[in-house]
Chains A and B, each alone.
Chain A
Amino acid sequence: MIGVGKIKQYTNVLEKPISKGKQEVSLSAFAFLFSELVQYNQTHVDNISELERRLEDAGYAVGARVLELLCHREKGNRRETRLLGILSFVHSTVWKVLFGKVADSLEKGTEHEDEYMISEKELLVNRFISIPKDMGTFNCGAFVAGIVRGVLDGAGFPAVVTAHFVPMEGQQRPRTTILIKFAEEVLQREARLG
């Protein structure tokens, strides 16, 4: 009998149909994998900012691919051209797909025109991570900052994205804020589009 019990073989990965994105793995599998990523990078760098940069670079690659995948699957290949559009895409769609929920909040920076902040009470990647005192302000959320930067860059909104801990009153663990600072050209284009 032909093909009974065997999944169809595709010679070319491009011919395989895209999955619906409903498959799941356990959180601990991801946590173990992420911890190995951080530990591997720790042995290859001399200082904290180098470590953050490497995590961000890893996240950048993820972000670029996530953008392609989600644009095709969730948005029917429509492209975002406006700033608020892409920000809400990141805040809702990307967060929902990657972390299972929309981000806690999206705010515009008060001091600078080009700054926006996405905040999350507890980033999924930071759930099982504790930062030793001698690592100062290091935040493994740099990986998520890299993902956001990858998405924005791929969509044509170059930006500098960083992750920061913001201590909250009355809460033991600080909140994490992803700070997005758009490049000059993005704001100029946005102003031109009206």
Chain B
Amino acid sequence: MAPVAPRSGDAIFANVERVNAELFTLTYGAIVRQLLTDLEEVEEVNKQLDEMGYNIGVRLIDEFLAKSNVSRCVDFKETAEVIAKVGFKMFLGITATVTNWDADGTSCSLVLEDNPLVDFVELPDTCQGLYYCNILSGVIRGGLEMVSMKTEVTWLRDMLRGDDAYELQVKLLKQVPEEYPYKDDE
């Protein structure tokens, strides 16, 4: 059977079941509010959001690989492109752009122009250190870890803090070779 060509993000998004983005936005807001009430410390909330994102990411990658038919990415550059063009589109209906590659190709920025998580949101003065969309950094980190890449994901620009776009820096720390549970010759 001939290998199936990878589908574009738009095509997949048109084929998956979709829900109103506002339900998604408001549910996410309820989660952040609950965390802020429980944990009170903004740093703790950031960490918890990242944790939750990580848990989502390790499961999301399965669905991503199943629905998108992408073949193994040759290098990190391709990985970043696939996340930006196919991944974000497939799940959130938005496209990101990849910029700011560093010299050895291990670090790049994903820039999001619009973001369904932050509709209607304004950060109050008491929460100025909060990375509201931190769940996204966890999702990317979790997903990539399941495909053997250890990464560090940080926020460079955040519109809720006054910047003009959302910018995530994804840095590849190391490629972990896949471990087989059995030895070949046993």
Q: Is the CB of A13 within 8 A of B120?
A: yes
List residues of chain A with CB under 8 Å of any chain B CB: 6-7, 9, 12-13, 19, 21, 23-30, 32-34, 36-37, 39-41, 44, 54, 57-59, 61-62, 65-66, 69, 97-100, 124
Q: Are A62 and B27 in contact (CB under 8 A)?
A: yes
- B34, closest chain A residue (CB): A58
A50 to chain B, nearest CB (A): 13
Query: How far is the CB of B44 from the nearest CB of chain A, in Å?
Result: 13
Assembled-state Cα–Cα distance A54/B34 (Å):
9
Q: Are A23 and B116 in contact (CB under 8 A)?
A: yes
Residue on B with the closest CB to A34? B27
Q: Flag whether B154 is at the interface (Cβ < 8 A).
A: no
Name the residue of chain B whose CB is nearest to the CB of A61: B30
Contact A59 B19 (CB under 8 A): no
* B-side contacts of A57, CB under 8 Å: 34
* In contact, B56 and A27 (Cβ under 8 angstroms): no
For window 46-95 of B, CB contacts with A under 8 Å fall at 48, 52, 55-56, 59-60, 63, 90-93
Q: 16 A-B residue contacts at CB 8 Å?
A: A19-B119, A23-B22, A24-B19, A25-B91, A26-B93, A32-B56, A36-B56, A37-B31, A54-B34, A58-B31, A58-B34, A59-B30, A61-B30, A62-B30, A98-B23, A100-B19
Chain A residues with Cβ under 8 A from B18's Cβ? Answer: 24-27
Asked if B102 is an interface residue, CB under 8 A from chain A, the answer is no
**A97 cross-chain contacts in B, Cβ below 8 A:** 20, 22
**What are the residues of chain B within 8 A of A69 when measuring CB–CB?**
22, 120
Tally inter-chain residue pairs, CB-CB below 8 A. Answer: 116
- Nearest-Cβ distance from residue B34 to partner chain A, whole angstroms: 6
Contacts of A13 in B (CB 8 A): 120-122
In terms of DSSP, what is the predominant structure of the interface of chain B? helix
Give the complex CA separation of A42 and B135 in angstroms. 19
Q: Is the CB of B26 within 8 A of A66?
A: yes
When C-beta atoms are compared, the residue in chain B nearest to A66 turns out to be B26
Residues of A within 8 A of B38 (CB): 44
Taking CB as reference atom, which chain A residue is nearest B118? A13
Chain B's nearest CB lies how many Å from the CB of A41? 8
Contacts of A41 in B (CB 8 A): 34
B28 within 8 A of A: yes
In the complex, the answer to whether A25 meets B93 with C-beta atoms within 8 Å is yes
Query: How far is it, in angstroms, between the C-alpha of A37 and the C-alpha of B28 when the chains are bound?
Result: 9
Contact between chains at A99 and B31 (CB < 8 Å)? no
Residues from chain A with a CB closer than 8 A to the CB of B16 are: 26-28
- For residue A25, which residues in chain B have a CB less than 8 angstroms away from its CB? 18-19, 21, 24, 91-93, 116
Q: Report Cα–Cα, A191/B92, bound state, in Å.
A: 47
Closest residue of chain B to A59 (Cβ to Cβ) is: B30
Task: Give Cα distance in the complex from A25 to B52, angstroms.
Answer: 19
Q: Does B17 contact A (CB under 8 A)?
A: yes
With beta carbons under 8 angstroms apart, the residue of A21, A23, A24, A36 that contacts B31 is A36
Chain A residues with Cβ under 8 A from B60's Cβ? 28, 32
Instruction: Report chain B residues within 8 Å CB of A44.
Output: 38
Set A7, A32, A36: member contacting B114, Cβ < 8 A: A7
Q: Using Cβ atoms and an 8 Å threshold, which residues of chain A touch B164?
A: 6, 9
Give the residues from 99 to 130 in chain B that come closer than 8 angstroms, CB to CB, to chain A: 113-114, 116, 119-122
B91 x A24 contact (CB < 8 A): no
Complex alpha-carbon distance, A97 and B56, angstroms: 25
